[in-house]
């Protein structure tokens, strides 16, 4: 059961990476310097995405936030079940 939950957490990680890439594409469209900063620091990209959610798409940011939070919860749950 713990490995199933860990697999779902991995799926959440993939969703987070895809959303990060979508936001990076929008950031690079605005400025290369900001895009490089978003590539180095995903937290900057996350904050920039929420500040510009109309440009990025509110659904992308909601999916990224949900995947991030659910991924953390599933990772903690899976680690406690396999220990």
Distance CA 18, CA 38 (A): 14
pTM for the model: 0.89
pLDDT above 90 for 79: no
Contacts of 70 (CB under 8 A, 6+ apart): 12
In this prediction, residue 3 has a pLDDT band, given cuts at 50, 70 and 90, of confident
């Amino acid at each position: 059961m713990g490995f199933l939950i860990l697999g779902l957490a991995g799926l959440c990680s993939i969703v987070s990476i895809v959303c990060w890439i979508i936001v990076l594409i929008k950031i690079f469209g605005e400025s290369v310097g900001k895009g490089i900063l978003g590539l180095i620091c995903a937290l900057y990209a996350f904050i920039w995405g929420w500040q510009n959610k109309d440009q990025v798409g509110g659904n992308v940011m909601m999916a990224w936030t949900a995947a991030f939070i659910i991924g953390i919860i599933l990772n903690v749950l899976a680690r406690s079940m396999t220990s």
